[in-house]
Structure 1
């Protein structure tokens, strides 16, 4: 046995081997040391012919899932070596084989998985060299990304050509395991950073997984197609390799045919709104930033789903908002119809409530791991389908009627389970008590033999006594002879001819008859035979259901869709949301908008609603000023969330809303050190700003909070100013932007830079105290109220008093006046030198020296040797040149 263990372990060197011995799974040697430490179970030993006892530990077979989950959570792979023959029938060593390998991305245990989240396995293939992608363009390096949920059968594939897009896809799906080729490890991507940031296991597989021809072959064979063009994969060359590798990896770990993976869905990242990693985090779409919890997220607000399938689909909708108006309007119409048919919606919700997770149930059925209670849950779920389908048929909207047509009532499967399986069967399949009376004749006979055997024997004994007249005749049993008639010697002359002698004793003789033999055959082993037959019948029923996997998955998707729209409808009516109009003109107009999460979290106060107007013209960039805690960040996030909600098809928290479809939402809200990669707060901030400026388009929505605050005041103001100029320029970007800042100097840009408008948070002063009115109004704030906010936060009075003194001393050095001068200079240069405004020229081609080459100040600046100047010389020179410039402008007035 130990030799076989060692041979099996050699085949799975990167796995912990769970080796089945009777009622336990045992581990030996290094595996035992690891598992005993990680699971805190007793370490013992076993004699196995070596000089020292082999370290050993074990877990009960019935508790396997719990231990598996804990090990997989810690990043281990586990190979399950099971007994594959009946020990009673085995000759010599019981045959054992590895029946599956469990990894973070392939675990199927119900107890281990969150039913409201998909558990994704992602394959990433990096290819260097020219290859044409799905957009028809050639690229030097391509990432093929295949993502599969082995429990539901979902399988998707795409390609991207940048690290940023790759990270966005990883963040979108949050896989629990990533497999990749060696080229990905050597592509320059920070693998350790990925592991830490996304808490994901990443492993490079052998090169044979990534052979192009083998990948194409495995996909063709699995999906039973002659050409991959039939799957829509023609333009996904690298994606095909990643999908093929994932398919082979799933085959290798699951040791099954994976019949429930029936489709593969190619997609382009351009089909959905782009939401990058930091935006997902900042907007807290599916988990909060700090606690990583669902409560306090947009998903928490919108999720009133009744089924696990619906919960997973809603999460997908939130993470992948649409960008095509027609599809958005279809979803909105479905929600609106449900709102208008309140009673029908509530009926549907009642019927949805008892439905179990059909997607994962059919997965377990296909895997042959479903137990009798799973089938009863499946049957009870199917009982609801005809009612839901009938109600949906009453709706006229395209989407709801389409879902009704997609929904198969599956009454044949319901009938099969109803006829075959008892209502309250055991959990295990080897105990019997599974099959109903009347389903199978032989099972009925065996069941009858098991329960009525004693009565049959008593009846036979009574009949034979009467027939023969032998008063002492008795039916007895022993292990050697089985059942027999015993007749005392005083009556042996009355024994009839059809009695066959089996044994002679001193005082009696033992006989049998054909009828007794027949009863013996039925009764002897009836229970064992019944258990075995019921298992076979159960497997037949399970296999019959598995053969209908396509129908079932199609229906499960339809149920999930209905559940999502009912959930969105329930939230809309309870929270007084409105249907937003959708436009493609770039206008975002919101009247009395509210933050969906903050509004719901507030218990003792009313949420102050605010208006928003952004477009691609005169109102494309709003500079928002006001003190901390006044509500700037909440306001900006609420605008982004309302846009996102509108594009996922939901109603929105507002009195009215007209939403211009955005291709991307970018946010830069808050910052923290990224110690793992050695980046400071300011470096993180600038990295995110760089990503936004490089990847945003004029159809994007930008939410920028406190740009430049991580460095000195002058540098920060300069950066913030330059960012506004860049964003507002229609030649460079021209995106709709909400820009919150404490640099009141930036309010000078309204009227100087086209498209910039000032807004502030209204504040009411009461002596030294302030009251936040949380209302956005036109105009710029002239104070930060920082000292008042510090007082509200409980900073000691002595510190507050000293801060006021210092503020008064520094007020003369306020850079607001200088900012006005910069704005005036820019304006005068424009007037006197006829220099175009920043939004009228490509700023990347324009420099200050190009416009004033003949100016003596410019020539002097150009000739300075900064590397040889002391700091004091530099300041003196700058002061002298600034004075000279001021005097010149005074002379020109």
Structure 2
């Protein structure tokens, strides 16, 4: 069967669709945007639209779905939120005047990384678009922008892991590239749900050359060129608000890989994926959207430069001393709108009268802010005060030109203030007087004709007319009016006088609207010429907002200024986990000290589950992040070195998408720390080795401790349930044991949540199981099994002729033994003997040996607690 011939409209649609195969095409038809073919089928499902058909009587009807043009933005937002692109096709000429097919073009391609609209909930979030270019050595140039604010930055990343860390920090939803990305990177991007778009690098033009002139590294400039080419190709309009691209080095900031960032819950709660319950949630007392975004950026990029950090401390301290100035600053900042995004809308050509009034009202706060800063110590705040532009010229322009209550639309009139333009005032006078004249004419004609129902009306076809009902026609002088239209129940008439006045009024209305829009765009253009000034002011006010927020939180939660030192000495007195303390309340939280002298490398932490080991470790990391952000910290005293990196391995999680088990993830994160940490790094290892057989896990944990102690030498907190590892303090001089206190009172476990010197005396595992609510019968059975096992350990210990004094020899001792004959093994003193369940003599009977062999071969990590207890019971019966 021959394929049905395309109609001119569908031919036009298909030609445009071929240029945007990866986007939904919103094709304008009158008052609707229509979707066709596959777009209609999928769009109807995603947007819950009714799926209809075009040419439904043909052999191959075309699927079709549509949305009203006035509501299209809501539907576009839904698709973009789901990770799709939307190409908006508009009619480029008046259908009534067009010859043949109406000309249509794509006026904008909306993508996850280029959307300008933000909801109120996302006002304090950036929407970053990232571009990548490849280097010959296998590295990457990386550039990013937030189109709504105009920020453009670029850097160089040496490996795939670094790319993933940066895009994780930026929380990007779209990446654009001119190259084929490595398979492993593509797999990770796909698993993270990040849209990857392609954009060929285009020949440099004046605009891109200007924006990238400060970039000197080839791969960074290439990435920025690709980024800008994509923006210009998709947005198809002026982007004068884009700032000059600046280069940054990742090594300038405290390095936190994406796992550590997630584990510490700096900006996203691991459980809810929301802001609540994070460090950002605690510290955010900002009054402006741009201040909220700046605080998030500070937290995501803690500093390494001591001078800048100390300057932030100084400013916070000054605001803490002067409560009234801080309160005044907060009050004025409440009236400052989002200057960064207002500037973006002005450049984008979407700012309306209400946006300009928000800009004006924000600028009106600047003089008061300058007065407040002038009352503070000039040695501390003088630099910020000098950076503030009062903007009296722009504030005056908007106040003079824009009406106080303008409509949303800039084309409907009413946006320009009376008195701003004489000609516009004349047009308005004609319209006002003309309508008054019409009202007076209607009253006059009613009086003279005696027809009280006579009225003067208007429609677009006939203009102004006089309407008389047919019941009153007899009362009308036949020569008084000229008949224009006959209706069922009335007649419509005109007069020469009425037509003259109509022409005057309609001409004034048309010219008034055109002139008013012209005047508004001129005002907007003048503001657009000052966008760089507005962006500089926005950055200064955002910094002020962050500083007052940190000062307020420091006062509310009794934070203190840390002392930064060049020594590798770490002292925290009465340290707290700031988020947990906020949730529990200051009175309920138990503060703890952290002390690690210069030569001390590892703090080995033991104690039962739920006692607070992980919280203790996290609070140290958060204290470091806060200190290097420039914030005061949750402690009564703090002396800290400046760390270059933080690595964490906290919590149990798998990565099923990549096919990695919990243990594999654990080992991978441990490897990242071991391979990349330096003496200036901080490492947090929580319960390494749990995901495999007991002795495998114990051996790995000890080897990692020894490696960090002897080679890496980073400050390390290592919590463990392997109590045998505490004996390493005898062999590793820079390792110190501490434990989280717990006592057993009347069979109940009581946590002190206090970190004490020395190893824990036991793990209290059964007590914790009881707290979890396991049945009493099960708990009692577990206690019996434990008692039997401990009794067997004593028996086995007594029969063993020789036993190692430690779980395993430290690495240094082991290496020495390779070169020398193995010394005679001497039995250890009973007090030093470690648990060794399998160290049995040759006289054990075959049945017992078979049970021991089965125990060795069993992987308890794959068993449930109940299965393990039943298996223990079975083995016990076999050995009786």
TM-score with structure 1 setting the length? 0.83
In the alignment, structure 1 residue 821 sits paired with structure 2 residue 804:
yes
Whether contact under 8 Å (2:614, 2:650) holds in the other structure is yes
Partner of 2:780: 801
CA shift, 1:716, in A, is 1.1
Mapping of 1:489-888 within 5 angstroms?
521-603=503-585, 606-617=588-599, 619-729=600-710, 732-811=711-790, 812-813=792-793, 821-823=804-806, 826=809, 838=812, 847=815, 850-853=818-821
Partner of 1:150: 147
User: Which of 5, 27, 37 lines up with 2:13 in the alignment?
Assistant: 5
Whether contact under 8 Å (1:66, 1:111) holds in the other structure is no
Q: Rate the CA distance shift 1:687–1:476 in 2: closer, same or farther, 3 A.
A: closer
Whether contact under 8 Å (1:273, 1:321) holds in the other structure is yes
Whether contact under 8 Å (1:708, 1:716) holds in the other structure is yes
Counterpart-to-counterpart distance in 1, 2:76 and 2:743: 60
**Corresponding residue SS for 2:133:** strand
Whether contact under 8 Å (1:590, 1:658) holds in the other structure is yes
CA shift, 1:394, in A, is 2.8
Q: Which is worse superposed, 675-684 or 426-435?
A: 426-435
Partner of 1:417: 398
In the alignment, structure 1 residue 183 sits paired with structure 2 residue 180:
yes
Mapping of 1:322-337 within 5 angstroms?
322-337=303-318
In the alignment, structure 1 residue 195 sits paired with structure 2 residue 190:
yes
- CA deviation digits over 1:745-798, x for unaligned, max 9? 111112320211110111122131121011111111020011111111111111
Q: Rate the CA distance shift 1:354–1:199 in 2: closer, same or farther, 3 A.
A: farther
CA shift, 1:387, in A, is 1.1
- CA deviation digits over 1:349-378, x for unaligned, max 9? 111112211111111111111222222222
Runs of 4 or more consecutive aligned structure 1 residues displaced over 6 Å after TM superposition: 457-463, 474-484, 509-513, 814-820, 854-857, 870-873
Whether contact under 8 Å (1:334, 1:397) holds in the other structure is no
Whether contact under 8 Å (1:26, 1:57) holds in the other structure is yes
Counterpart-to-counterpart distance in 1, 2:807 and 2:741: 28
Partner of 1:250: 231
Q: Rate the CA distance shift 1:442–1:726 in 2: closer, same or farther, 3 A.
A: same
Counterpart-to-counterpart distance in 2, 1:481 and 1:382: 45
Counterpart-to-counterpart distance in 2, 1:761 and 1:244: 55
Whether contact under 8 Å (1:168, 1:276) holds in the other structure is yes
Mapping of 1:406-485 within 5 angstroms?
406-455=387-436
CA shift, 1:145, in A, is 0.7
Whether contact under 8 Å (1:745, 1:820) holds in the other structure is no
**Corresponding residue SS for 1:753:** coil
In the alignment, structure 1 residue 75 sits paired with structure 2 residue 80:
no
Partner of 1:221: 207
Whether contact under 8 Å (2:649, 2:685) holds in the other structure is yes
Mapping of 1:359-374 within 5 angstroms?
359-374=340-355
In the alignment, structure 1 residue 312 sits paired with structure 2 residue 293:
yes
CA shift, 1:458, in A, is 8.4
Counterpart-to-counterpart distance in 1, 2:640 and 2:130: 34
Q: Rate the CA distance shift 1:672–1:262 in 2: closer, same or farther, 3 A.
A: closer
Whether contact under 8 Å (2:742, 2:749) holds in the other structure is yes
Q: Which is worse superposed, 296-305 or 436-445?
A: 436-445
- CA deviation digits over 1:220-250, x for unaligned, max 9? 633537xx6x50x22x221211111111001
Whether contact under 8 Å (1:624, 1:741) holds in the other structure is yes
CA shift, 1:407, in A, is 2.0
Q: Which is worse superposed, 284-293 or 531-540?
A: 531-540
Whether contact under 8 Å (1:457, 1:475) holds in the other structure is no
* Structure 2, unaligned runs of 5 or more: 1-8, 445-453, 467-480, 484-492, 826-845, 857-880
Partner of 1:120: 128
Whether contact under 8 Å (1:69, 1:112) holds in the other structure is no
Q: Rate the CA distance shift 1:476–1:400 in 2: closer, same or farther, 3 A.
A: same
Q: Rate the CA distance shift 1:202–1:771 in 2: closer, same or farther, 3 A.
A: same
Whether contact under 8 Å (1:616, 1:735) holds in the other structure is no
Whether contact under 8 Å (1:579, 1:657) holds in the other structure is yes
CA shift, 1:441, in A, is 1.4
- CA deviation digits over 1:64-114, x for unaligned, max 9? 221111111222111011223445554554432211100100111233981
Counterpart-to-counterpart distance in 2, 1:306 and 1:480: 55
Q: Rate the CA distance shift 1:658–1:476 in 2: closer, same or farther, 3 A.
A: closer
Partner of 1:270: 251
Over the aligned positions, Cα root-mean-square deviation in angstroms equals 3.5
In the alignment, structure 1 residue 39 sits paired with structure 2 residue 44:
no
Q: Which is worse superposed, 311-320 or 801-810?
A: 801-810
- CA deviation digits over 1:273-295, x for unaligned, max 9? 00011111110000111110111
Whether contact under 8 Å (2:438, 2:456) holds in the other structure is no
Counterpart-to-counterpart distance in 1, 2:513 and 2:57: 39
CA shift, 1:396, in A, is 2.8
CA shift, 1:19, in A, is 1.2
Q: Which is worse superposed, 690-699 or 793-802?
A: 793-802
Q: Rate the CA distance shift 1:246–1:736 in 2: closer, same or farther, 3 A.
A: same
Whether contact under 8 Å (2:611, 2:753) holds in the other structure is yes
Whether contact under 8 Å (2:318, 2:380) holds in the other structure is no
Partner of 1:831: none
Partner of 1:164: 161
Q: Rate the CA distance shift 1:756–1:89 in 2: closer, same or farther, 3 A.
A: same
CA shift, 1:724, in A, is 1.0
**Corresponding residue SS for 2:144:** strand
* Structure 1, unaligned runs of 5 or more: 130-139, 464-473, 485-500, 504-508, 828-836, 858-869, 880-893
**Corresponding residue SS for 1:183:** coil
CA shift, 1:420, in A, is 1.5
Whether contact under 8 Å (1:146, 1:156) holds in the other structure is yes
- CA deviation digits over 1:440-478, x for unaligned, max 9? 112111111112114457899999xxxxxxxxxx99999
Q: Rate the CA distance shift 1:373–1:50 in 2: closer, same or farther, 3 A.
A: farther
- CA deviation digits over 1:784-839, x for unaligned, max 9? 01111111111111111111111122224389999993549849xxxxxxxxx84x
Counterpart-to-counterpart distance in 2, 1:422 and 1:88: 34
Counterpart-to-counterpart distance in 1, 2:661 and 2:730: 35
Counterpart-to-counterpart distance in 2, 1:367 and 1:270: 34
CA shift, 1:126, in A, is 2.3
Counterpart-to-counterpart distance in 1, 2:400 and 2:463: 39
**Corresponding residue SS for 1:847:** helix
Q: Rate the CA distance shift 1:91–1:742 in 2: closer, same or farther, 3 A.
A: same
Q: Rate the CA distance shift 1:60–1:297 in 2: closer, same or farther, 3 A.
A: same
**Corresponding residue SS for 1:608:** coil
CA shift, 1:588, in A, is 1.5
Q: Rate the CA distance shift 1:450–1:511 in 2: closer, same or farther, 3 A.
A: closer
**Corresponding residue SS for 2:66:** strand
